[in-house]
Amino acid sequence: MGELKTRRELVAAGWNARGIAAAVRDKKLFQAAQGVYCTAPVRRDQRLRAIVLGHPSIIFSGVTAAEIHLGKKHTFPADAVVERSRGRSRTLEGMVEVRQAQNVAAEIVDGLPVVSVLRAAIGAHERAPHLARELLAESYPGKTGEARLAEDLAAHPRIPKTFRAIIAGSAVGGDSKTERRIFQDLRAAGLKIRQNVQLGPYRYDGEVLGHRTLIEIDSYTHHAVGTDPGESGGGVENARTFVQDRWKQNYAVCRGYRVLRYSATCVDEHSDLIVEQVLGLVRGEEPSGRQASGVWEWHETFTSARWLRERGGWGE
């Protein structure tokens, strides 16, 4: 990967305008942005850095900021803002749409200036609602996620109504990517979901609101039981988790809730069946199709030789 250099840096190193032009013509330098050059062909992921070097007052916003926050590949044209006192709305390099804004605070993520997570999500939600939902879910995880999001929303001057709908459909508060993914799918199916639900002394992964139904997503490592503390997935702590999970579920049932439990593998391999089962339960339908047969007849953990080999169940 080549090194980015501004014209000023090249001049300070002894270059002049004629020398720079000749180097570009001879492909010893490559123009990356206005007044910015690269010592090798410019890669796609260098474009934004080059533009910032040439236009240091811009701050990436909207879809571009969301992509940067999430560590995703940049798409073009990119979105950016500039303080009214420092610039005007325009198109830079044919690749960045810049608009004026007020009171924009910049954060540095991966070396690039970006707006806050919330401002990025708001800016992205109309063009890329899936990206806005993913950004909210990734940025506000865990049991404090909803409270932190509410605090940030309260501090924001204006929240569009259309963005409120994005929030309602986002897996905010999930403890893992697996949880966030399945609860996102359930929301997409039309269910209202609350995550990290406190009920008495216990906390549950999610609740289907209005149906007194709780959902738990268990990872194999965390919930496996063994007697040898040196075993993977075994030991005293996991045995305690095993016991706690039983009493936790019993508590919810005694409080009048239904509890559905799935493994991470269920989410990875059979998320469609999870959605189907939850919808069937809240609609009062009897199990049908694959759900009416034994799980050993269709579930990945029973039917995949690779899955069993990886866990020592079958030989080669």
294 and 221 part of one domain: yes
Over residues 101-151, the pLDDT tens digits come to 888 889 999 999 999 999 999 999 999 999 999 999 899 988 888 899 999
* pTM > 0.85: no
Count of domains observed in the chain: 3
Domain endpoint, select from 95, 119, 152: 152
Average pLDDT over residues 30-53: 90
The answer, yes or no, to whether residue 48 has pLDDT greater than 50, is: yes
Average pLDDT over residues 209-233: 68
Q: How far apart are CA 292 and CA 269, in angstroms?
A: 18
Q: Where do the H-state alpha helices sit in the chain?
A: 7-12, 17-25, 47-54, 62-70, 117-124, 129-139, 145-155, 161-168, 177-188, 220-223, 236-254, 264-283, 300-303, 305-310
Q: How far apart are CA 125 and CA 274, in angstroms?
A: 27
Give percent of the chain with pLDDT exceeding 70.
Answer: 89
102 and 41 part of one domain: no
249 and 170 part of one domain: yes
Q: How far apart are CA 200 and CA 265, in angstroms?
A: 28
**Going by C-beta distance under 8 Å and a sequence separation of 6 or more, which residues neighbour residue 316?**
309
Residue 237 lies in domain: 153-310
- Give pLDDT, residue 306: 56
Structural domain contains residue 170: yes
Over residues 234-243, the pLDDT tens digits come to 556 678 888 9
The answer, yes or no, to whether residue 250 has pLDDT greater than 70, is: yes
88 and 139 part of one domain: yes
130 and 240 part of one domain: no
- Give pLDDT, residue 169: 81
Give percent of the chain with pLDDT exceeding 90.
Answer: 56
3-state secondary structure (DSSP) of residue 282 = helix
Residue 36 in contact with residue 52, Cβ under 8 Å?
A: no
87 and 182 part of one domain: no
Structural domain contains residue 182: yes
Select the more confidently predicted residue: 54 or 119.
Answer: 119
Structural domain contains residue 316: no
Per DSSP, what are the bridge partners of residue 215?
206, 260
Over residues 73-101, the pLDDT tens digits come to 988 889 999 987 666 677 776 788 889 88
305 and 194 part of one domain: yes
- Give pLDDT, residue 234: 52
Select the more confidently predicted residue: 289 or 304.
Answer: 289
Structural domain contains residue 238: yes
- Give pLDDT, residue 315: 43
Amino acid type, 217: I
- Give pLDDT, residue 228: 46
Distances (CA, A) of 174 to 138, 217, 269, 312: 9, 11, 19, 31
3-state secondary structure (DSSP) of residue 270 = helix
